[in-house]
């Protein structure tokens, strides 16, 4: 919000004029407009003396600067309180005067906030000295726009001295953990900075969020139903991190390190540098980490005459380095160009010990022991170049970009499976080569009554993959052609969209868009001599309606149609083994699934929100398990249609100056139908809640205490057991707030679910070693108000290759 400044008048003449004006004189010289019953804005305040004693009957006048008219006159009551109203947004001037005191002039701007509570206004004994007092009015923590929620991070305890990763844990609709960021009820999601997508996911994304400081962030935009401008792919929503507009020249940076202790210890280090000159803005981040984790799991096939019980233990070490460079160059006042380059180099090393028991009527027939060594080196690169053209001063602009992404994951799985009668030493290698590029152009045309956005995009996917299966025989690994495969896949997507948004009145805002996407795909396996070609096109409409009932109530309604294309690894028809009897296989014939989403929400006083939604999804693809003797096979099929009905409620407020609270709860009901008889479904529900608290003990010391729980749920043919998490931590700022010490403790419960088929149940239980101690150290240096280039370019297609 703009900062309003009030200044004590310097001359005695103005003081006398303000002080001794009577209501009769005012009515004779100025126009007084009283529209209290119809007022959209309310301004409240209290007039006191220097000792904070109430001043009764002080004159208070409100002037509209656009018309240069005084529109209201009031007097403070016996308690010093006054109330003013205005019907329109804009710039205003308030004058407060009393016979024996200096008068004050307070200028302010009325915008989004409908009720403005001013701090106590102090009138002092008459003096001719110039005085100045600054009042800053704050936005509510939560706001609603036509197509998104606004979480004003600035108004929380976490807004100062924390990383953005920590601050996001108090945002509504979001779930934040070390393994990624997700949206309640939608799973994984896209993350943008200043409307530009970030091409990171999982731990790479959380490491990047830890390099951003909460002080640099103005607000978080949470988009549950993305408009037509964004890709129709996926149904997970988006968040947009809006950085503070900052033109300070120079450089700044931060360096941080964290130590993580579970069963094994891990660490993470990062460096972030930001530089800005009159023409160049840039940022450079580098993250180096080494994580070591242990996972204990069971995977049982039960409720059948011959149960198969599996127990496993995986220890994974993941060293990695990730770096990002972003440079923006201003050619002139209307043109700027830039590039963003991201590179990541990691290597996952896993040792696996698994014991599988094959039973008949609770009697063990045989036991298969499998030991494996799995390595997965992964090197990825993303390059984006862009050009922005400002067409005029009214905000018309044209943005164009070219993006390229490549990675080459290699998996080498050496395992030995042995029992009393069986011994097999196997090597199962998988190599994929992803190359994705896109070109797009977006035009923004703001007019007085409507803002139009339109654009086009073309994207190309190319994936070559092969799987080789080797049997160890006579001290050599010999290729088994019957279990090996090669697959080449190409996909082209062409998209165009148009979107319009208009403020119909002070109370009504509408937005609508239409996106069309056309896809061609070609998959060929020379090993199987099998080719799959397909092409399809679809329209994806979006619509939003916002109604501001009063200054405290906002109601919104939105609709979107989405598509969920299968990941490229799902389309590869190769077979990958976990032991000699168990394997998973892809499906090149998979179809995309479609969903229709309808959502209605209500926001009260920027602190309480309620959202109800419904979703219909068809051709959902998921994994199906089949059992034939000792063989357990998982494959991907389109077989599910599902209708979801749910509600989400949140409460975000500073209960006291030292205590922020964010509480939320959700409920879902799912009705499912399966096309496959062996996969029976049933209707079911789920619920969850979370309570997040931030406490400010001193200006330098703060604490947080968070608890969340997912209650048991049923959806389709999956039953999920309850799971809960508890986090507590502290932050201490030293050396003029440049050195930040942080610590946290996380305690979580195991993950357990059942997949129910017609003739058996697959029960999966996983312990992710969810007892964690984290100790972090961050040092800030350079000029604190320098903002680097945090520009990114939309390149959503990359997520399908990860």
pLDDT of residue 247: 52
Phi-psi region at 173: left, alpha or beta (left = phi > 0; alpha = psi -120 to 50): left
Spatial distance between the Cα atoms of 9 and 221, rounded to a whole number of angstroms: 42
* Structural contact between residues 795 and 199, judged by C-beta atoms closer than 8 angstroms: yes
Token couple for 95: 């004058």
What is the residue whose two structure tokens read 């440079």? 327
pLDDT of residue 542: 96
How does 726-764 read in b/e, with b if 16+ C-beta sit within 10 Å? ebebebebeeeeeebebbbebebbebbbbbbbeebbbbe
pLDDT of residue 2: 37
pLDDT of residue 138: 58
pTM of the model: 0.75
- What proportion of the chain, given as a percentage, has pLDDT over 70? 89
pLDDT of residue 126: 63
For 128-186, the pLDDT digits (tens) are 444 444 444 457 888 899 999 998 887 787 777 777 888 887 788 888 776 677 787 67
pLDDT of residue 17: 43
For 334-372, the pLDDT digits (tens) are 999 999 898 989 899 999 999 999 988 778 888 999 999
β-pairing, 104-110 vs 3-8, is antiparallel
Which residues of the chain have a pLDDT value below 50?
1-39, 127-137, 787-788, 790-795, 798-799
Token couple for 177: 């953990």
Q: Where are the beta strands (DSSP E) in 657-760?
A: 659-674, 684-696, 701-710, 713-715, 718-720, 723-734, 739-748, 751-756
Q: For the purposes of burial, counting CB atoms within 10 Å of the CB of 551, is it exposed (0-12), middle (13-18) or buried (19 or more)? A: middle
Task: List the Cα angle 135/141/146 in 5-degree steps.
Answer: 110
pLDDT of residue 91: 84
| 389 backbone dihedrals φ, ψ, rounded to 5° | -120, 120
The neighbour count for residue 213, using CB atoms within 10 Å, is 21
Spatial distance between the Cα atoms of 161 and 313, rounded to a whole number of angstroms: 39
For 254-303, the pLDDT digits (tens) are 899 999 999 999 999 989 898 888 889 888 989 899 999 999 999 999 99
Residue 165 DSSP label: H
pLDDT of residue 215: 75
Spatial distance between the Cα atoms of 451 and 74, rounded to a whole number of angstroms: 40
* Structural contact between residues 205 and 164, judged by C-beta atoms closer than 8 angstroms: no
How does 128-167 read in b/e, with b if 16+ C-beta sit within 10 Å? eeeeeeeeebebbbbbbbbbbbbbbbbbbbbbbbbbbbbb
Token couple for 547: 């109604």
What is the residue whose two structure tokens read 């090197």? 379
Closest CA to 525 of 566, 571, 493, 469: 571
Token couple for 644: 């979801």
Spatial distance between the Cα atoms of 283 and 339, rounded to a whole number of angstroms: 11
């Amino acid at each position: 919000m703009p900062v309003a400044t009030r200044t004590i008048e310097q001359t005695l003449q103005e003081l006398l004029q303000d002080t001794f004006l009577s209501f009769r004189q005012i009515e004779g010289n100025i126009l007084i407009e009283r529209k209290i019953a119809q007022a959209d804005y309310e301004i409240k305040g209290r007039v006191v003396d220097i000792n904070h004693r109430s001043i009764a009957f002080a004159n208070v006048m409100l002037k509209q600067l656009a018309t240069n008219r005084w529109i209201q006159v009031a007097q403070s009551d016996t308690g010093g309180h006054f109330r003013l109203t205005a019907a329109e947004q804009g710039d205003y001037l308030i004058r407060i005067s009393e016979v024996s005191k200096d008068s004050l002039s307070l200028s302010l701007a009325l915008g989004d906030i409908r009720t403005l509570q001013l701090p106590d206004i102090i009138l002092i004994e008459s003096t001719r000295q110039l005085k100045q007092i600054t009042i800053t009015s704050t936005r509510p923590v939560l706001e609603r726009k036509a197509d998104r929620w606004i979480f004003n991070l600035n108004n929380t305890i976490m807004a100062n001295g924390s990383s953005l990763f920590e601050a996001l844990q108090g945002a509504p609709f979001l779930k934040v953990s070390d393994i990624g960021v997700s949206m309640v009820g939608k799973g994984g999601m896209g993350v943008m900075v200043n409307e530009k997508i970030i091409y990171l996911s999982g731990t790479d994304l959380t490491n990047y969020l830890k390099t951003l400081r909460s002080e640099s962030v103005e607000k978080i935009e949470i988009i549950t139903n993305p408009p037509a401008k964004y890709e129709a792919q996926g149904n997970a929503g988006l968040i947009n991190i809006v950085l503070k507009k900052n033109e300070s020249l120079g450089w700044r940076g931060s360096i941080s390190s964290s130590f993580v202790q579970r069963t094994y210890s891990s660490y993470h280090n990062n460096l972030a540098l930001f530089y800005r000159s009159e023409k160049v803005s840039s940022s450079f981040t580098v993250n180096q980490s080494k994580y070591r984790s242990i996972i204990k799991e069971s995977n049982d096939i039960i409720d059948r005459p011959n149960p198969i019980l599996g127990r496993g233990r995986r220890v994974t070490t993941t060293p990695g380095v990730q770096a990002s460079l972003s440079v923006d160059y201003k050619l002139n006042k209307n043109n700027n160009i830039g590039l963003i380059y991201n590179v990541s180099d990691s290597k996952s090393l896993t040792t696996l010990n698994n014991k599988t028991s094959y039973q008949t009527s609770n009697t063990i027939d045989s036991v298969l022991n499998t030991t494996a060594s799995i390595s997965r080196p992964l090197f990825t690169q993303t390059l984006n170049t862009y050009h922005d053209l400002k067409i005029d001063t009214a905000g018309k602009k044209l943005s164009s970009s070219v993006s390229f992404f490549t990675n080459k994951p290699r998996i080498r799985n050496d395992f030995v499976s042995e029992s009393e009668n069986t011994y097999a030493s196997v090597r199962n290698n998988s190599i994929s080569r992803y190359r994705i590029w896109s070109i797009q152009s977006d035009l923004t045309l703001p007019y007085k009554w409507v803002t139009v956005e339109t654009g086009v995009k073309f994207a190309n996917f190319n994936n070559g993959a092969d799987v080789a299966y080797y049997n160890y025989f006579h001290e050599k690994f010999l290729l088994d052609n019957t279990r090996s495969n090669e697959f080449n896949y190409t996909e082209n997507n062409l998209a165009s969209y148009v979107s319009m948004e208009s403020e119909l009145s002070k109370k009504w805002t509408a937005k609508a868009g239409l996106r069309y996407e056309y896809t061609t795909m070609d998959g060929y396996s020379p090993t199987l001599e099998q080719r799959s070609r397909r092409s399809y096109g679809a329209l994806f409409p979006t619509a939003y309606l916002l109604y501001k009932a009063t200054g405290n109530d906002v109601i919104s309604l939105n609709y979107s149609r989405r598509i969920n294309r299968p990941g490229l690894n799902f389309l590869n028809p190769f077979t990958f083994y976990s032991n000699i009897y168990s394997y998973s296989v892809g499906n090149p014939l998979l179809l995309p699934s479609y969903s229709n989403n309808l959502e209605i929400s209500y926001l009260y006083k920027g602190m309480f929100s309620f959202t109800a939604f419904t979703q219909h999804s068809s051709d959902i693809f998921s994994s199906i398990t089949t059992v034939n003797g000792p063989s357990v096979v998982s494959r991907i099929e389109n077989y599910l249609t599902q209708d979801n009905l749910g509600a989400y409620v949140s409460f975000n407020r500073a209960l006291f100056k030292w205590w922020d609270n964010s509480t939320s709860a959700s409920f879902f009901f799912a009705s499912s139908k399966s096309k496959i008889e062996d996969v029976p479904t049933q209707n079911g529900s789920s619920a969850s809640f979370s309570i997040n608290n931030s406490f400010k003990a001193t200006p330098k010391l703060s604490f947080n205490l968070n608890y969340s729980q997912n209650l048991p749920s049923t959806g389709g043919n999956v039953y999920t057991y309850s799971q809960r998490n508890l986090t507590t931590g502290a932050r201490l700022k030293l050396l003029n707030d440049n050195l930040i010490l942080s610590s946290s403790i996380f305690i979580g419960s195991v993950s357990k679910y059942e997949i129910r088929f017609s003739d058996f149940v697959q029960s999966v239980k996983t312990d992710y070693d969810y007892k964690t101690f984290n100790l972090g150290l961050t040092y800030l240096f350079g000029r604190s108000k320098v903002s680097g280039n945090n520009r990114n370019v939309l390149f959503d297609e990359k997520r399908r290759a990860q």
